[in-house]
A and B are shown apart, each in its own frame.
Chain A
Amino acid sequence: MRSRDGNHTFSLRLCSVILFNSLALNASEFLISYSYIVKDATLYNETIQISKAMKKCSGTPQKSFIFDTNGEKDLKKIISKNNEDFINYIHGLGLHIIHNDKTKNLQHSSFTKLTLKTTCFKVDFNDNFAKIAPLK
C-alpha cells in the first residue's frame, strides 16, 4: 500500500542496500604476518609482511582497530604511518614466543623470536578511517 508521503519503506530499503553494498565493495581481506628477533637483549630484525588475500577468508571479525587514513587506500602506507599503534595492537592479539638460552663455559647467549602467524584481516576502508579486524 502506498503511503501519503510516498513509498518511504521502499526508498529506505533501497538506500540501505546501496549503503551495505558500497561498504562490502570497499571491504577487503589482507594476510598479515609479523615477527621480530632479539639476540642477547638487542633487537636483531623486525619484519611485517602484508599481502592482499587471493582467496576469500573464512571466519568472523574479532577485536578491531581503527586507523586514521585521510583518504589513503593503500594498507601498507596506512600501516607505515601508524606503525607503533598497529604493532601494539598486534601484540594485543597474541604472539608466539620461541626463546632459547645457552650458557656454555659460563658464557651466556640468548635468542628470542616473537611471531604473529599469518592471519587474515578484514579491512574496511572509509573516507577518513579504516577498520581492521582479524578473521577467526
Chain B
Amino acid sequence: MKYSLILVALLGFSASAAMATEVKQEAPEPTNITVVCPTGSCEKAPVVQKVEVINPIELAKVEEPKPQTQKEDVLDENQDIIISVVGQGVAPMNTSSPAQAYALAKRAAVADAYRLIAEKVKGVRIDGQDLIKNMMVKRSTVRTSVKAMVRNANIVETTFKEGLCEVEMEIILSHSDFAQ
C-alpha cells in the first residue's frame, strides 16, 4: 500500500513536471532559447542564448549595402569640368629621320587624344554582330564610331619613347560653352 502511494505520488510529480515543460514549449520566448536539463543533473548552469528571430519575409526586404558608386560629374554653372586623356600614336616604319618619326607619331597621338575626348564628352555608338552556324560562332564583329567637334583642347605633355608617342590632352568644359 505504501509502495503504491509512493508510486502514485511519483507519477503525479512526473506528470506535473511534464506539463510544465509542455507549457514552456508551447509559448517560448521568441528571442530566447532555453536549455532545460531533463534529468536535473547538469553540472553547468543552463545557458540562455539570445537568438534574433527574423521573419523570412522581412529578411527578403533587408537590402544589402550597395557599393558606393562614384558621383557622376554634372556641368554646374559655378564649376568647370576638366577632362584629361592620354592619346597614343606610333611612327610609321619608313621615316627618313627620328624627327620626322616624332612629328608623325605626335600627330597620330593627337588624333587619338581628340577621339578619346569626343568619346568621353559625346559618347560612342556601338554595333555588334555575331554569326552562329551549326552552334558555332563563325564571325564576330564589333564596330564603334564617334562623330564630334572638339574645340579648345590643350596639349599638356608629350612624351616619345621607343617609337610610341603619348600626348596628354585636356579640355575645360564650362556651363557657358553650352548655354543657349
Contact = CB atoms under 8 A, between A and B. Distances in A.
A97 B112 CA distance: 10
A91 interface: yes
Nearest to B103: A84
Interface residues of B, number: 32
Contacts of A103: 141-143
A101 B149 contact: no
Contact of B141 (A91, A104, A114): A104
A43 B144 contact: no
Interface string B16-35: 00000000000000000000
B111 interface: yes
A43 B152 contact: no
Interface string B95-109: 000000001110110
Given A38-B108, A43-B92, A43-B107, A100 B143 contact: yes
A84 B111 CA distance: 15
Contacts of A42: 89-92, 104, 108
Contact of A102 (B105, B119, B141, B146): B141
Contacts of A92: 151-152
Interface residues of A, number: 25
Contact of B150 (A36, A46, A97, A100): A97
Interface in A66-115: 84, 91-106, 112, 114
Nearest to B87: A41
| Interface secondary structure of A, over-half rule | strand
Contacts of A94: 149-152
Contacts, number: 88
A112 B141 contact: no
B133 to A, nearest CB: 14
Given A95-B150, A97-B148, A105-B139, 16 more contacts: A38-B89, A42-B91, A42-B92, A43-B89, A95-B151, A97-B115, A97-B146, A99-B118, A100-B143, A100-B145, A101-B142, A101-B143, A101-B144, A103-B141, A104-B139, A104-B140
20 contacts: A38-B112, A42-B90, A43-B89, A46-B107, A94-B151, A95-B149, A95-B151, A97-B111, A97-B114, A97-B146, A97-B149, A97-B150, A99-B145, A100-B144, A101-B145, A102-B142, A103-B143, A104-B139, A105-B140, A105-B141
Interface of B: 88-92, 103-105, 107-108, 110-112, 114-115, 118-119, 139-153
Rank and list the top 7 A-B pairs by shortest CB-CB distance, nearest first: A94-B151, A101-B144, A99-B146, A38-B111, A103-B142, A43-B104, A99-B115
